[in-house]
Structures are given as C-alpha cells and as structure tokens.
Copies of this chain bind each other. A is one copy, B any other.
Amino acid sequence: MSSAEWVLNLSHYAPIAGAIGLVAAVGVYRAMARRSPGTGDLPIIAGRIEEGAMAFLRRQYTVLLPVLLVVAGLLSVAVGWPVGLAFVLGGVCSLGAGFIGMRAATKANVRTAEAARAQGAAAALRVAFSGGSVMGLAVASLGLLGVGIMLNVLLDLRDPAAITEIQFGHFTEIIAGFAMGASSIALFARIGGGIYTKAADVGADLVGKLEAGIPEDDPRNPGVIADNVGDNVGDIAGMGADIFESYVDATVSAAVLGATGMGLMGPARVNATLLPFALIVAGLGASMLALFCMRWLAKGSAAVALRAVQVLGAVFFLMMALALVWALPVNEAGNGGAGLYWAIIAGTVGGILVGLLTEFYTSAGPVYRIAEASKTGPATNLIAGLAVGLESVLGPILVICAALFVAHSQGGLLGIALAAVGMLATTGVVMTVDAYGPVADNAGGIAEMGRLGKEVRAITDHLDSLGNTTAAIGKGFAIASAVLTAVALFAAYVTEVGRTSGHPLALSLLDNRVIIGMLLGGVVPVMIGSLTMTAVGKAAGAVVQEVRRQFREIKGLLEGTAEPDAAKCVDIATTAALREMVVPGLIAVLSPVVVGYFLGTAALGGLLAGSMVAGSLLALMMANAGGAWDNAKKYIEKGLLGGKGSDPHKAAVVGDTVGDPFKDTSGPAISISIKVMAVVALVIAPWLGALGR
C-alpha cells in the first residue's frame, strides 16, 4: 500500500484501534485488580479513599450532566442539533476517561502498598505502573474511539473522492462540537479536582501537622482520607481530563484545518483531513508497544525506566509517523509529506524538552536557591520562589517558539496543528507515567495509615519521590501541549470564520478590536488564577473548621481510641470544591461568547491570542514555582540546612503552602482555560458568522 492508502485505512479503522486500546486497558485493570489488597486495616482504608473519590465523581457528574444538556440545547439552537449531540458525546467520553482512571488508581494504590510489603520495590513499581497505564490507555483509547466514530459517521471514507464541500463543512462544525464537549467537562473536572485536592491537603495539614502536632497521613487526622481522595480527583481525574482534552483538541484542530483551511482540493484535502487520525492511531500503537517494553525496563532502575518508556514511545511513534507521511501527497503539487514530518518531530521533541526543562527548574539549582533563601525567613523564601517561577518560563517558551517556527515553516498552519498532534500522540504512555505518581503517593499514605512499618514506607517514599519528578514533568508537558493546541485551535477558528462568513479574518494588530480583545484575553487567565486561589483558601477553611471540630468534640481521637469521621471531611471538601469551580469555569466558557457577540470575531481572535500569551506565562510560572517550593521543602526535610523543625524548614513550609494552589489548582486551571476558550470560539464561529459579527 502507498502511504496515502495507509492513512485512509488507519483513519477508517480508528474506532477499532480505540476499542482495542480500551480492551487492553480493561485487561491490565483486571490483572491488577486480581492482586491482593492486603489484610487488616488496609482494604478498609483503601475502601474509604475509593468511596470518597467515587462520591466526588458521582456528585460532580450530577452537577455537570444537566449543564452539559443545557449547553447542548443552546448549541443545537445556535449551530444545529448534530453539534449539540456531538458536544454531549465528547463530554461523555471525557467523563468516561476520568471514571476508568479513577477506578484503576483507587484499586492500584492499596495493591502497591501491599506489593511493597509482601514482595518489595520492583513489584510495587509494577503495580503502581499498571494502575497508571490503565489511565493512560483509557485516555488515549477513548479519545481515539470518540473522534474516530465522529470521523466515520460524518465522512464516507469508502469513497473519499466524493466528499462534498457541504459534507466537509458539517464535519468541521460537528467534530468541533465533540471537542468542545470534551473540553468543557475537562475544564470543570480540572478546576473542581484542583480545588478539592488542595483544600483537603492544606486543611488536613494546617490542623494536623501544625496544630495537633501529628505526622502527615496519620490515621487519627479526620482530614487525611480527604487528602488522599484529593490526590485521585485532582491528579488522576483532573489531569486525565486535561490531557484527554489536549489530545482531542489537537486532533480536531488539525482535521478542521485540513478540511477547510488549506485551500486544497481532491485527494490532497482528504489526506490532510485524515492524517491526524492516522497519526493518533499510530501513537496509540507506539504507546502500547512502549508499555509492553516496561516488562524489561522495570528490571533496572525505576527512575530510568519511567523516562525510558516515554522516550521509547516517542521513538516508536516517530518511526511509524515517518512511514505514514514521508511520501504522502498533501498539497496540489503532490508533495509536502516530508515537511509535515518535521512539524511532527518538532512537536514530539518539543514536548520532551519542555518536560526536561520543567524537571530542571523543580529539582536542580533553582530549588537550592530557594532552600538557601529560607535561611532568612519566609519572606525571602517566597521572593526566591516567585523569582524562580518567573525565570522558569523562558526555556519552555523558547522551545515552544522553536517548535512553532519549525512546524510553520515546514507545514504552514496545518504544520502547527500536526506538531500539537505529534506532541500528544503518545498520550497513552505519557499519561501512564503521569498517573503513576499519585498512585505511588496514595500507596505511601495507605502504608502510613495502615501502619505497615518503616521498610514499606521507605519503598513507597522512593516510588513517591520519583512520582513527584514525573508529575512536575507532566505539568510542563500539559502546559506546553495546551499552548500548541491553543495555537492550532486558534488557526482553526480563523479559518472557520473565513469559511462561514465568506471573507477571511485579517486579525491585524492595528485593528483596535484585536488589541482590546488581546488585553481582555490577558485578563481572563489572571482572573481564573485569582478566583481559584481564593477558592482553595475558602474550601480549605471549611475543612479546617471540620477537622478542628472533630479533634475538639470526638473524645479519644488524638489518643487513638476513637475513630475520626473521615466521610464528613470528604463531604465538606466535595461540596466546597463543586461550589467554587462554577465561577472560574463559567468565565472561561462564556468569555469567548460574550466578546464574540458584543465585539465581533476580530476581538474574539485577539481574546484567544491574549489569553494564550498571558495564560501560558502564568501557568508555567505557577506550576514551576509551586514544584520548586515543594522540593525546596523536601530537600530541607531530608537534612539540608538543619532539617525538619529548623527555622529554614518553617520558612520553606510557608513557601510550599503558597505553592500548593499555584501548582495544583491555579496553574492547571489557567492552562486548561486557554484551550477551552479557543475551542468554544471554534464552535461558535458559524453562529457569529450567521449573526454577521
């Protein structure tokens, strides 16, 4: 077969590839779930965490489903019912990915602790890793399944040459609706999960560690179950939804650009439209191969294995992508594949580089600078941390600019979208390593609560510290992919405005509306940052009150003779997080609608550009400063500058507490809002066009 036929076939069979991935995820899940969850307190503690996490999801879904239906109704009126339906499907796929991942993670955590106790470090790593890989596979497979079904329903791939202009038009509108559904759910999952996890963490620690003087994860602390639940709803369900969104959005924006924006006709246009789907099929295959290789990698150092598996995934993917695009005719002259290949490489390599830069800023020299500054108190610790955070944006932005430059010069706007696809194609393995972290973290918590002893805790601590590094890398990756995806969506938005309004959108910086839109766009991420920081404070305050109340009112709790009412804390954190997620989420979803409606499509284009610039800087700064503060505290706890309880340690704890909402709530919320704004703009473009804005 020629590469053109390969592309056609792979995208035709994309839903089947997605289904195979899902079956693999279920298989890994079953094998993992068959392992022993331990004895004694262990299954009970784990059961409570699972219960709390599932209760959060259930209640969140109860809030989100009606919203999903209302928005679907509005979209049906404004842009047509197929878009509304696709929106619901996208949302449901996103919910499903979060659900499967959470289920797996809450099974894997206790089994990791038990494996550490019964079989040692290597077995524990394998269990935690399989827990993560269920999430990784679920995210990639569900994404592939969803967009694959949309593709096959909307375009008749058995006779691609016969696809009409109108069919291409419907395809772009409807598949964008699917992306918006995925995005909207992801947004709220991310913000709600982020608020929950830090509210519980800060709340439990403030009273437990500082006031009652008991260690972290101590079972007497009523907030400790909520804290562990938070790791799951924030770092598993939230992060999963975030990456799921990037994955879907990148694919959709590339497909939309292929279908509308390139001025292509005939087979070249079909190839450009189908290529992103073929690429993510290849990416899922590469991820599964790499995950399979973990069998051998896990025998060596765990730290090396966790990196090697990601690099392997990228290498496998690039080899397959080479086979797909090298000779693929995507322009009128019958060539262009080679240029697109460089665009894909730029994305894949860029993602890895940003991850490494993030690791540098959150584990190397800069962290020691913050630790050093802690010697003169919390104020200097904070100034140093903020300075490191600000400084850390330079490298990632330069990498992103370089990737944009290569991608655009080699493949135009489609090249940029394919760079985003290239960065995200190996989501299966990237998300696996990402999700491994919170599983290991939870395993440590369960080991502590179940009093499994120092040796077991040492194993889980080691796995956890690896998880912290991979989590930092994952955050950098998430932001970099968000920026690239946002640029791709932005390009798709502009071409879609051109298609539906009949005249191209110039978007000149000399146009006053564009400048005003940019300034407003810059404000949106800043406001979301402010609101989410305040939300964590409020929600944590509610948890603090409850933990204090229990310490005061439940007799024998501190002595260990009475049980805390953990469920109550879980309930309070859930209620607070769900309440506080609404306003920042709505701002992200509605700002493009309001600006587009009142100021027009040019201002909306400016809004996207402004939010992208300000949002990427703020998200990177917050994520990296938070990670660096966290590790500065950890380094001191390991004995640097006097260790635990010293004055530098106290100063570092202040920095860490400020960094917590930075890195786990506001940073991620901002990063996801950039994409959401862009995808909303893409979906409402036909509506704005019809209104003549």
A interface residue numbers (CB < 8 A to B): 206, 373, 376-380, 382-384, 386-391, 393-394, 397-398, 400-401, 404-405, 408-409, 413, 416, 483, 487, 490-491, 494, 506-510, 512, 514-516, 518-523, 526-527, 529-531, 533-534, 536-537, 544, 605-606, 609-610, 613-614, 616-617, 621, 653-654, 657-658, 661
Please give, as numbers and ranges, the residues of chain B lying within 8 Å of A653 by CB-CB distance: 379
User: Are B609 and A373 neighbours in the complex by a CB distance under 8 Å?
Assistant: no
The 6 closest A-B pairs by CB, nearest first: A390-B530, A379-B657, A408-B512, A507-B509, A391-B530, A387-B533
Residue in B closest to A409 when the chains form the complex, CB atoms: B512
Interchain CA distance A229-B606 in the complex, whole Å: 44
| Copies of the polypeptide in the assembly | 2
A309 to chain B, nearest CB (A): 31
Q: Which residues of B contact A531 (CB under 8 A)?
A: 387, 391
- Given A397-B522, A400-B519, A404-B516, output 8 extra A-B contacts at Cβ < 8 Å: A376-B544, A378-B654, A387-B531, A391-B531, A394-B526, A506-B508, A507-B510, A519-B616
The chain B residue with its CB closest to the CB of A402 is: B516
In Å, the complex CA distance between A436 and B20 comes to 74
Docked-complex contact A523 and B658, CB < 8 angstroms: no
CA distance A591 to B406 in the complex (A): 21
The answer for the CA separation of A384 and B533 in the assembled complex, in Å, is 8
Which of chain B's residues have a CB closer than 8 A to the CB of A508?
A: 506-509
A495 CB → nearest B CB, Å: 9
By secondary structure, the A interface counts as: helix
Report the bound CA distance from A657 to B380 in whole Å. 8
Chain B residues closer than 8 Å to A516, beta-carbon distance: 401, 404-405
A491 to B544, CA, bound (A): 53
Q: How distant is the Cα of A405 from the Cα of B400 in the complex, in angstroms?
A: 32
Please, which residue of chain B has its CB at the minimum distance from the CB of A620?
B526
Cα A653 to Cα B382 in complex, Å, equals: 13
Cβ of A484 to closest chain B Cβ, rounded Å: 11
The complex places the Cα of A512 from the Cα of B406 at a distance, in Å, of: 10
Are A405 and B512 closer than 8 Å at their CB atoms? Answer: yes
Are A614 and B512 in contact, CB atoms less than 8 angstroms apart? no
A274 to chain B, nearest CB (A): 24
Knowing A378-B378, A390-B526, A509-B509 are in contact, say whether A533-B383 is a contact too (CB < 8 A).
yes
Contacts of A404 in B (CB 8 A): 512, 515-516, 519
> B residues within 8 A CB of A487?
515
Q: Once bound together, how far apart are the Cα atoms of A518 and B531, in whole Å? A: 26
CB pair B520–A401 under 8 Å, yes or no, is: yes
Residue of B nearest to A206 (CB): B376
Report yes or no: B518 in contact with A383, Cβ–Cβ below 8 A. Answer: no
Contact of A527 among B390, B534, B661 (CB under 8 A): B390
**A398 to B522 alpha-carbon distance, docked (Å):** 11
**A509 near B606: Cβ-Cβ < 8 Å:** yes
Shortest A384–chain B CB gap in Å is 7
Give every chain B residue within 8 A of A515 (Cβ-Cβ). Answer: 404, 487, 609
With A401-B516, A405-B516, A506-B508 known as contacts, the answer to whether A523 contacts B394 (CB < 8 A) is yes
Interface pair B609/A383, CB less than 8 Å apart? no
User: A527 — which chain B residues lie within 8 A by C-beta?
Assistant: 390-391, 393-394
Are B658 and A383 within 8 A (Cβ)? yes
* 15 A–B contacts, CB within 8 A, in A order: A380-B657, A384-B534, A387-B531, A398-B523, A400-B519, A401-B520, A506-B506, A509-B605, A518-B609, A518-B613, A519-B613, A521-B613, A526-B621, A610-B613, A613-B613
Inter-chain CA distance A391–B584, complex, in Å, is 12
Minimum CB distance partner of A490 in chain B: B509
